[in-house]
Structures are given as structure tokens and as C-alpha cells.
A and B are shown apart, each in its own frame.
Chain A
Amino acid sequence: MQVLVFNPEVCDGCRVCEETCSQTWFKEANAEKSAIRISEATGQPGHFRAVVCSQCGECIDVCPTLALRRDKSGIVRIQKALCVGCLSCVGFCPLAAMYVHADNLVPFKCVACAKCVKACPAGALEIQKLPAAKLTVTEQRIQEVA
């Protein structure tokens, strides 16, 4: 599955990734609308951490409407038409990488589109093809029914 991977060794905290992400998906430069969030690591000035979706799929099992599904590339996507804005996924993401913004009713997350990878001047981001995540309970049930 495709996952956006962050390299803290080379990130210089310029936050171009955040701006690129929000521009790509919300047509505005607003870090609060970015699916990747950069912050200075606690107690380590000049070192940065990123919070971004690992495509683990845990959110799939908390969504009451089956609005969260994994696509063929292993990327977890929200089907907006099914989302009821319950924010369960926002609260239950193990990485706190599912976001909601007051301008929108539907949460958002990284879908490994790679726009930020191209934009990162430090080369701190890349898309990696990782082994598929373990099937969620929901996916197992859907397989069984099929």
C-alpha cells in the first residue's frame, strides 16, 4: 500500500508541505486544512515531527456508515456522500491524523497524493510502497459476505 513517509532527519520545518496540501485540496493556504501537520519536537529545538496518516485503517472500523474504505492502492478514503460528520474517526485515529475543520462537515486525511513530496524543498517526504496493512474487522466481514 502507498503511504506518505516523513524523514525527520532532513525536515527543516519550512511547512511548505502544509501549504501545498491545503492548496491542493481546499484551494487556500491554511495549515489547519492540511492533512500533514509539522511541529517542533518537544524539547528538541530545530527538530520536527509530522503527523500524517499511515493508512493503518483503524478508522474504517469506527465509521458507523462505512464511509471509510480502502482503495486498490491501499489508501483509506472517505466517501463524502456517506459521511454523517460524527467525528468518530477524528477521535479514534491512533495517530490523531484525521482532521476536521469548521468550514467543512466531512473530516479529511492524507491520501498519499504526493503533491507535498514534490513540493518539499528538503526532500523530507516520500511515497513508499509498504506491505498491505492487516485487514480490519470491517474488511474481513465484507470479504466473508462476498
Chain B
Amino acid sequence: MMEPIEKVRAAHKVLAEFRYTPPKVQRGYAGQTLYVNVSDNTIAAKPVNDEMKRTFTGGRGFGLWLLWNAVRGTTRWSDPQNEVILSSGPLGGTTSYPGAGKSIVVSLSPLTGSVVDSNVGGYFGPLLKFAGWDAIEVQGQADQEVIVLVDGNQGLVQIIAAPQEEMDSYALPQQLVELFADKPEERVGITSVSTGPGAEHVLMGCLNVSFYDPRRQFVRLKQAGRGGIGTVLRHKKVKALVVKYLGVKGDSNAPADWAELTRVGSHMQREIHDQDPIMNDMRGGGTTMLTSIMNDFDLLPVHNFRFGSHPNAQRLYKKEFKPYFSEGIPNGCWYGCTLACASCVERLQLKTGPLKGQWVHVDGPEYETVAGVGSNCGIFDAHAVLEINFYCDMYSIDTISFGTATAFAMECYEAGVLNRQRTGGLDLHFGNEETALELLHQMARGEGFGVTVGQGIRRMKQLFAAQFGADPHFLQDIGMECKGLEFSEYVSKESVAQQGGYGLANKGPQHDEAWLIFMDAVTKQIPTFEDKAEALHFFPMFRTWFGLNGLCKLPWNDVEPADNKKKNAPRTAARVPEHVSNYIRLFRAVTGREDVKEPEDLIRMSEAVYNFQRVFNLKMGYGSREHDAIPYRSMGPVTAEEYESRAERYDQQLRDVVGMDPSGMTTALKMAALRAYREKRYESLVDAVYKRRGWTPDGIPTLETVRRLGVDFPDVVELIQKHKKP
């Protein structure tokens, strides 16, 4: 039962207050960032100068720069010095082009120990900027539960002791809207960043970023899932960051050239109107359409990535979720996003947990959630996926890490590493949805084996080897994590380029840097290591650019101009040249930067930030070749069962590529031969990519590279020199 809102408000106590004159946004920048320290209740403004804009652009770039200056190489995620930083970017808050409302969160990750970035929809980043701030950095650790409020209309920042607000991630953002909207029309002007009770007990806590849906009349949630940043915010005892800003207009982002924005924006809106229904139909079900495609191409993770398809997978196809979605009204997570992938389930009756029997609403699921908590855990039931999705959000737990970590625990259970005694009585067989849900509820309560799973795969591997005497090599092979982060939900076994896309990703194996499976393994457009390395240069850089600017990647290539494939050769078409051109026009129209003319100019912006992030990893004790190693499960069959299930494919590779005759060989011998080949192939890829990126064979950016990109700050140079091998 929720407390009456007046009682909650009455318990507030303002601990610190900072008044400012909200600056007028100019060409996509507010020109300052907001610093809040919840240990000593400091609130301060930091200027953003032209050099910072030139070097880091915004968004993830700003977050990395601010964090770099806030932490030392010895800082741990749980130290008060660690920060949670949110920033949108210069194009963020543009309303007239789809997908321009993202916030990028940066912090030191509890899972990886290094720097992590996670992008998220919702209104926070844009409204923060319109309130006068290009970024917010939250440092310190409060001694009581607090809310940080930014009122952009009044020019007021407060740190407020907030003892009575809910911890439940659905109830809290709704409560915040009621607390800070003076009248119903103001609800759309309230957005928050919050976490839930799960983030208190596990390392894979996510952030929920909200926006108010005026038609459905409730708060919608988007998640910054990756890397456990929710855990960091919870550790700081920050219940929520809240921005209030009323008065969004087409020119709130103060573009240099509104006329150009209207041209490029209305053209793109029309393109989505015409093309989306005949392409991905994002408007009709978001990314859930991917499940069938992945299953058809043997790329859908099943039973901890052992297999790529399953006869029951169709129970997780889009058609199973469609009846749950409420459609025909906007589903964009920021104004103007008509690609509208944020599907909403308005009515779901829960079967388990504290809200058992109640009707609730849930945002999603995204494909990653369907595959992660569904097929990868052997759970082929749409309702179960929705319920897990709901509780993950409510407790603030990343669905991807939850799914991949649970799948790992399930395989350990089936392999005899775990048993009922070791799981506290839980039957962790694949497909046991009740157990998967119970793990979640345990995470929220901070008890039982759920808390163990919530520490992530890297820690589970250590624990199972130390406590249960499990074979560490086997755990290493099947534990789908790299750098401490759980893999996202694509089977990469048949695409060495995608193995690189995962293994070489700065934050850990998330597909937001590169998704090359079709290009590599299906259409075979990048046959040589050099081709793959070029793809692993261009795509990660191009995709990084979205995160610098407050943009979503989906409108880039999840919808294409009708003539894209006719006009361009396949390799060029994959880059969607007309949309790349749109982004150049958009960037120029907003920032007025006429020196940005070619795709290469966008790539260079990203390269600076990307290499800086690689060096940041080095600063934190990672960032070299050994940390780009991936588990063999992501490269090939670990078990005989896996090999046999795709024996024809693997035998053929032995015959045609490795030059061995598999007939007469035992499965064990064939597996060993395939493994030797595939592991060597990954290392060759890594060599080629490092070379293309201007890194040493140990994976460290060279001095020439950081100089060329203008990130050769004295401490960067010092770090690189320190790691130079004779």
C-alpha cells in the first residue's frame, strides 16, 4: 500500500540547494554540466568549453571525460569517488528526427571493474539539457535516502532527503510524477532515473529512465541495463534523479538551421511511414520480430548458447507477444520517434511474487529479453518472459545479464556442478520458469541462490570452482562473459567477425558496437581478415557516434530507403549511405559545424572517444589483449552434444577449411581440431583489428594514434608509455 503523496512530501527535507539562471541552449549544447556530490551535498556548475565539445562531442564522450577526471586507477565501483553520469549529446532533444532522445550513462561497473557505458531512452537526457545541463555527474555516497531534483524552469537544483518514497521501480517513478507535477498537464515534464530493490543486492542492477505517457496515463520505463550502473546508484543511496522541465518546442535544442532540420526530418518521417510496414514493422512490435529471424538462421541462443534454434522457439515469436501489446498510438521513447519500438503491455496478470494475481503494465519485451530470459534459459512461454521482464524492471535488474547468468547457472545445474543442495533447494533445469522467477524474487529480497546468480558469471565461476570443486576450464568455456559482462543474445559461433564484435567491445560483449553476423557468415561480404577488421573499425566507430550525440541506432539501419539495396552494392548498402548523409546533415543543422562533411568526419569524432575509452580501461587495470579473450562457447562447440547437433557443418569446416578428413575421427578429436582452428582464427582476427585501429599487438592505442585523435593528454601518454613493451 503506497503512502499518501502528501505524507511522502511532508517527509522531504532539503539538504542542499543551488540556484542558477538556466542558460539558453545554443546549437545543441547548454554549455555547462551539473556536479552533485551526495556525500557532502555539494552542487556546482562546470563549464563546457569548445575544446571539450571538439574532442568528446557529448553523450558518452562527455561522460567518459568527466569520469576520467573523477576517478583514479585504484578507484572501485563502490568507492564514493565513482560517479553515475548521464548525458545526451548535441543532437539529443531534437524532436524532428526519429530516435534523438537518448541518454548515455557512464560509470565504473560493478561487473567489470572498469568503465562502462549504457544507452537508454526516456526523456531524461533531453529535459536535463533544456533545464540547462549537458550532463549530470553524481558522486559520493549519501548517509540517507536522497533524491536529486533539477527544476529547469525555476533554475533550482536540490538534494532532498526522501525517506518515504517507494523502492519499487514502477511505483517510484509514478510517485515522482505526482510529487513534482503541480497539475496533470505538467506530468509530461517530469522524468526520472531510479533503481529498485534488486540493485541493492546484485551487481547487475539497471537504471530505469522514465517518461510520462499522456494517452496511457502512466509512467513508461526504459532501461540502462548494461554493466550494473543501477547497483552503483543504489549504493550511493540515491533513490532517484529527477528533472522537471516544461515547454519543449521544436527549437528547444536551438538548432543552427531549423529549415534543414524540417527537410531532413519530415523526409525521414515519411520514409518510416512508407518503409517500416514492409521492412521490420518496428511500429507493430518493436524488436520482437527478431526471434524468428534468429531462430531461422541458427543464431538464437538456446540453453546457454549451446544451440542456435529450437523447435519450440515459435512460442516466443512476435505473434505470441502481439496480443499483449496495445497498439495504434505513439510508442516512441522521445518525441518524434515514429519507429516507436517501445511496445507496451498495458495489462498483464502476474502469477508469482509480491504482486501475484495483480494486473500490471510492462514495457517491452525487447528481443534481447525474449532471447535472454526466454530461449537461452529454455523458457518458451511468452507470459513467463513478460513476467520476468516485469520483475526485472521492478527490481531494477538487467534482463540481458539476468538471462545469460541464469542460463549459465542452469547449465551448471544440468552438468552436476550445482544441485538442489547447492542452490538452496531450487531446481535449475532449463525451462523451469518458476525457478527463474524465484531467483529474481530472491535477488530483490537479498537472499538465497538468486543473490549468487546476481553477482554475475565471472564471480559464479570463481565461486563454483572454489566451493564446489568444479573444473575451472569447463566453467571458463561455458561462462558467457567477457571482461566480466554477460554476453548479449546472439550466437556468434559461425561468425568470427561477430566474435570480435563481442570480444573487442570496449565495455564488454554487447552488440551495440557491431552486429556483423549476416554480413560475415550469411552473405559473406567480408571474407578476409582485413575485410573483417575494416568492418570492426567502421561499424563500432559509426555506432559509437550515436552514443556521442544522444541518438538511437535503430533509425539508421532498421529502416532503409526503398532504393538502398538497388542503388548500392551490398557492402555499401549495409552502411545505409542515405541515412549516413542524413546524420551529417542533422549534425550540421544542429551544431552549425560546417567542417563536418564526410562520413569519415563522423568516424573521427568517434575514434577519439573510442580510443580514449580503451585507454580508460587501461587506467583501471584492464584494456589489454588478455582482456579481449572470449569463452570458447562463443566460438564453437564446447560439448560433444553441441558438436553432434551441428556435425555436418563442423565436419565440413574440418574438411574444407582445416584440411582434415573427419571420417573415422572420434567426436573428441574432431572437437579438438575444430577448436584449435577456431581459437587461432580469433587471434588472427584480433591481430588484424588491432592493426587497423592503430593499436599495438597487445591492444593498446599507440602514441601516434592518440596524437592523431587529439586525446594525447599527459596522463594518457604516461599510461601508454607505462604499458609499452620493450
Contact = CB atoms under 8 A, between A and B. Distances in A.
Interface residues of A, number: 26
Contact of B251 (A61, A66, A86, A105): A105
A65 B187 CA distance: 12
Interface in A53-104: 61-66, 83-88, 90-92, 96, 100-102
B328 interface: yes
A106 interface: yes
Interface in B245-301: 248-252, 258-259, 262-263, 265-273
A130 interface: no
B335 A84 contact: yes
A141 B267 CA distance: 30
B338 A105 contact: no
Interface string A121-146: 00000000000000011100100010
Given A102-B259, A102-B262, A86 B96 contact: yes
A102 to B, nearest CB: 3
Given A105-B251, A138-B329, A145-B217, A92 B338 contact: yes
A7 to B, nearest CB: 28
A84 B269 contact: no
Nearest to A64: B330
A81 B277 CA distance: 31
Contact of A105 (B214, B258, B268): B258
B96 A87 contact: yes
A141 B48 CA distance: 45
Contacts of A87: 95-96, 262, 265-266, 269, 336
Contacts of A137: 327-329
Contacts of B250: 83-86, 105-106
Contact of B338 (A84, A91, A138): A91
A65 B268 contact: no
Interface string B373-399: 000000000000000000000000000
Most buried by B among A88, A92, A105, A145: A88
B95 A86 contact: yes
Contacts of B251: 85, 105
A91 B270 contact: yes
A136 B215 CA distance: 12
A127 to B, nearest CB: 28
Contacts of B267: 91
A19 B336 CA distance: 30
Contacts of A105: 249-251, 258
A100 B214 contact: no
B336 A92 contact: no
A65 B335 contact: yes
Interface string B301-332: 00000000000000000000000000111101
B590 interface: no
A88 B336 CA distance: 6
Given A84-B95, A86-B335, A87-B96, A66 B265 contact: no
Most buried by B among A83, A105, A136: A105
B188 interface: yes
Given A84-B248, A86-B250, A86-B335, A62 B330 contact: yes
Contacts of A145: 217
Nearest to A66: B214
Most buried by B among A66, A84, A96, A145: A84
Contact of A88 (B252, B263, B330): B330
A133 B268 CA distance: 28
Nearest to A136: B328
A90 B266 contact: yes
Contacts of A136: 328
Interface in B666-693: none
Contact of B249 (A61, A85, A138): A85
Contacts of A141: 215, 329
Most buried by A among B214, B217, B330: B330
A79 B704 CA distance: 56
Contacts of B96: 85-87
Given A86-B336, A88-B332, A92-B270, 15 more contacts: A62-B330, A62-B338, A63-B330, A84-B249, A84-B335, A85-B250, A87-B96, A87-B262, A91-B266, A91-B269, A91-B273, A101-B262, A102-B258, A137-B328, A138-B329
Interface of B: 95-96, 188, 214-215, 217, 248-252, 258-259, 262-263, 265-273, 327-330, 332, 335-336, 338
12 contacts: A64-B332, A83-B250, A84-B249, A86-B250, A87-B96, A88-B336, A88-B338, A90-B269, A91-B270, A91-B273, A102-B262, A137-B327
Top 6 nearest A-B pairs (CB, nearest first) are A85-B250, A91-B269, A86-B336, A102-B259, A137-B328, A105-B250
